[in-house]
Amino acid sequence: MFDFSDVTTPLHAFLSRLLGESLAVVTECVLVAVALISIYAVFAMIMIYAERKVCAAFQCRIGPDRVGKWGWLQVISDVLKMMTKEVINLRQTDRFLHRIAPFLVVTASMTTFACLPWNKGAQIIDFNVGVFFFLAVGSVGVVGILLAGWSSNNKYSLIGAMRSGAQIISYELSIGMVMLTMICLTGTMSFSEICQQQADLGWNIFRGHIIALPAFIIYLIAGNAECNRGPFDLPESESELTAGYHTEYSGMDFGYYYLAEYLNIVVCAGIAATIFLGGWAPFVVPGLDGFNEVMSMIPGFVWFVGKTFFVIGLLLWQRWTFPRLRIDQILTLEWKYLIPISMTLLIGMALLVSFGLTF
């Protein structure tokens, strides 16, 4: 498996000799930021196009097919339109909070995006408490949503923000507990170490016996709820609240929410691929050395992106299959069913690890 540290370490040494240690670090930070923003934007456009096509397939339609071949230029046209639209400042809003809210949401989304382990040695943020950092930073996004609803001085925006806050805070508990279940299995909170362990011992969804599969399903359900995606899109229900917490936003201020929503799907799927499906680790079968050698020849980032889009497909399938739930049904599903099941899975995994019954 190719290790990107074989490239980044000599590059850092070269820049340090050329520019000095301090200036080399600043240059590397700028290069990493540019790469992160570029990948972030590209994945956003891919996700918008993919969802339109998947939605069309589920509804027996064609989807975008006019602007560019197969309609792939439609997303670029929408981005250019969004960037040139006027940002309307309303008189009765709290302007400071109203303007800062979308930046909080997109900053939280971009920071969690930087936690994804794309390949061995190719991870922007890698702490020994990476899972804890991911959960902490991801929670900042709900602050931007609540600020958007409050500062808009609009009852529909406020109701949508309150719904979103209650929903996200509730479903974070399930996500946290199923991630703790996998941490209990691996014994580490570092995403790079979780991937490396799965490269050596096998993917967690197989190592965790029957406990890992329901944990994965709960993660998919709670992940859609965290992203405010159907059937948990009640905070943005068009028939009741116009557009929910971003009703009063226009131009790129609305575009930031739009961007963060789609990239949160990628982040959600990427973390699922990391903690359940091995991340950049190839699929190996003990005893089949020839097969394992062929699988190891496939680059790690190909494995990671492929697994991520597999999970995205599951999330979109869920999104366009089930009808929208009421707010009481959403909270009942979490507090009466998912949390007790998640706690049971966590206790069960702790017992399996304690008695050495994992693979």
Q: What is the pLDDT of residue 1?
A: 65
- 39, part of any domain: no
Q: What is residue 238's predicted lDDT score, i.e. its pLDDT?
A: 67
Of the ranges 49-63, 109-123, 300-314, the best mean pLDDT one? 300-314
* 40 belongs to a structural domain: no
Q: What is the mean pLDDT of residues 10-19?
A: 85
- pLDDT above 70 for 122: yes
More confident residue, 287 or 205: 205
Q: 175-185: per-residue pLDDT in tens? A: 999 999 999 99
What is the domain range of residue 199? 93-354
Is 210 part of any domain?
yes
pTM above 0.85, yes or no: yes
Q: Which of 125, 151, 122 is nearest to 137 (CA)?
A: 125
pLDDT of residue 139: 85
Q: What is the pLDDT of residues 224-247, one digit of tens each?
A: 888 888 788 877 766 666 777 878
Proportion of the chain above pLDDT 90, given as a percent = 23
Task: Label residue 257 exposed, middle or buried (CB < 10 Å: 0-12, 13-18, 19+).
Answer: buried
Rg (alpha carbons) of the chain, rounded to whole number: 21
Q: How many domains does the chain have?
A: 1
**Is residue 166 in some structural domain?**
yes
d(CA 6, CA 15): 15
78 and 109 Cβ atoms separated by less than 8 Å = no
Domain-embedded: residue 295: yes
Which whole number is the average pLDDT over 95-122?
A: 88
With a cut of 70, say whether residue 263 has pLDDT above it: yes
* Mean per-residue pLDDT over the chain, rounded: 86
Kindly state whether residue 347 falls inside one of the protein's structural domains.
yes
User: Quick one: which of 35, 47, 120 has its CA closest to 308?
Assistant: 47
**Beta partners for residue 119, in sequence order:** 122
